[in-house]
């Protein structure tokens, strides 16, 4: 209950304080390319419930018809404004609305699409016991995920390499979840967004060692 109360308070305050920035981003997307401002993605949340995750649109409106479900490095479908938003992680800000709705938390496992959740081994479904998060240890490890996904077999590489590593990290998070760990991961996220990648990487590695998933991080 305390975590949920903190989520609601921070998300509400964040949306209020960031309203001018959100409006500017929406205007930039509208001026850059034709299409909706938001990208709506079907994801699986706590207890296996389906929900619609919101992001600022960073790709051309017909991206699904032009390529794979996975966004690859130097993906030509990513728009000019979208590339900037992705680099600064600003495309994730609308998920504060998902937090207010109770579909997501500020910190937790990253929500996956139904097709990928269907591939989870039985023991990995424990990640669905908690609300998925905007940020988390797996998101920090794979914050530049597209660099792992080069070539025509990007989706296969995601399924074979990235997804299993994410699951091992998220399972470790679920096992060690605490208010202190959540606050620490928020601070690490702030470091990463601020561009302190070297320090953030070292601290992420140390955190992974503490919760017992260093092998998955090193494999990434």
Greatest alpha-carbon span in the chain: 46
Q: Residue 206 has what pLDDT?
A: 86
3-state secondary structure of 101: helix
Nearest residue to 105 via CA among 168, 51, 36: 51
Split the chain (220 residues) into runs of 10 and give each run's mean pLDDT. 92 96 96 93 96 96 79 84 91 96 96 94 94 94 76 78 91 93 94 83 86 68
Domain limits at 193? 2-219
38, containing H or E segment: strand 38-44
The pLDDT of residue 217 is 66
Taking the C-alpha atoms of residue 93 and residue 126, their distance in angstroms, rounded to an integer, is 26
Q: What is the count of structural domains for the chain?
A: 1
pLDDT of residue 64: 78
The reported pLDDT for the residue numbered 127 is 95
| DSSP helix/strand/coil, 39 | strand
| Claim: this prediction has a pTM higher than 0.85 | yes
Whole-angstrom Cα distance, residue 104 to residue 168?
20
């Amino acid at each position: 209950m305390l975590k949920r109360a903190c989520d609601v308070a921070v998300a509400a305050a964040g949306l209020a304080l960031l309203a001018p920035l959100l409006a500017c981003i929406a205007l930039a997307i509208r001026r850059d390319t034709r299409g909706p401002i938001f990208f709506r993605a079907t994801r699986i949340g706590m207890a296996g419930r389906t929900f619609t995750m919101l992001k600022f649109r960073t790709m051309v409106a017909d991206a699904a018809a032009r390529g794979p479900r996975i966004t690859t490095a130097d993906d030509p479908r990513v728009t000019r404004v979208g590339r900037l938003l992705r680099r600064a992680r600003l495309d994730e800000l609308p998920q504060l609305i998902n937090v207010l709705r109770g579909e997501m938390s500020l910190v937790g496992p990253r929500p996956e699409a139904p097709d990928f959740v269907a591939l989870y081994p039985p023991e990995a479904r424990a990640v669905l016991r908690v609300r998925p998060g905007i940020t988390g240890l797996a998101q920090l490890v794979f914050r530049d995920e597209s660099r792992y996904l080069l070539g025509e077999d990007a989706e296969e590489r995601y399924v074979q390499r990235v997804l299993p590593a994410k699951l091992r990290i998220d399972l470790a998070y679920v096992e060690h979840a605490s208010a202190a760990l959540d606050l620490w991961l928020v601070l690490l996220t702030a470091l990463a967004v601020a561009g302190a990648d070297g320090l953030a990487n070292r601290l992420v590695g140390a955190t992974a060692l503490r919760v017992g998933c260093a092998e998955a991080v090193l494999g990434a």
